Chain A
Amino acid sequence: NAGVTQTPKFRVLKTGQSMTLLCAQDMNHEYMYWYRQDPGMGLRLIHYSVGEGTTAKGEVPDGYNVSRLKKQNFLLGLESAAPSQTSVYFCASKSVITYEQYFGPGTRLTVT
């Protein structure tokens, strides 16, 4: 039981490049989330999904797109990376009946 996994762990992009971050969970959770963490800013919600095939915007969605084609996977895409998107990205999931979210180990992204 791996819980929540994220791929890749580290990535360096040049401005304008695109990439996709993959999140996978094996807990059969309905809800999945993408956050970014910046120094002094805490965790800010980018997008979330309440079920397969559904997504919604969070607090800071601009510049990102997401897809949830399978229940266990939640993808975060950057179509044209900007230096402001340099951050640590965390994926999380939770079940319908609890409030606790379970987090992955994070992806450290640097955009130069």
Chain B
Amino acid sequence: DQQVKQNSPSLSVQEGRISILNCDYTNSMFDYFLWYKKYPAEGPTFLISISSIKDKNEDGRFTVFLNKSAKHLSLHIVPSQPGDSAVYFCAASPVGGGAGSYQLTFGKGTKLSVIP
């Protein structure tokens, strides 16, 4: 049972345009969400996160939106650049104590290609 879903395995966007990567989750206990970026032959790197008390978090060209009622979040990259071409993973964590809050549940990733 996939608790974090990234339904688009790949996405192609023209340089300068907006990239929108989507993520859905099913576990109501998830309360903190993160996006990671991964280049080939490297480890994932943390990109941006959002707590469920917010519906938007912005960091430069990257903005994450959270719709808690729909259990949906999205990552917007504006403007997209060729260097943004990578695999993007959505991850979720429950808040509170207990072993579960130590863990992240990852989606399967979306490969973004930004075409010059």
Contact = CB atoms under 8 A, between A and B. Distances in A.
A103 B103 contact: no
Interface residues of A, number: 23
Interface stretch (B12-20, B37-45, B64-72, B74-82): B37-45
A45 B93 CA distance: 13
Interface of B: 9, 32, 34, 36, 41-46, 49, 89, 93, 99, 102-104, 106-109
Nearest to B48: A100
A111 B21 CA distance: 34
A50 B89 contact: no
B102 A100 contact: no
A99 B93 contact: yes
Contact of B43 (A44, A45, A104): A104
Nearest to A106: B43
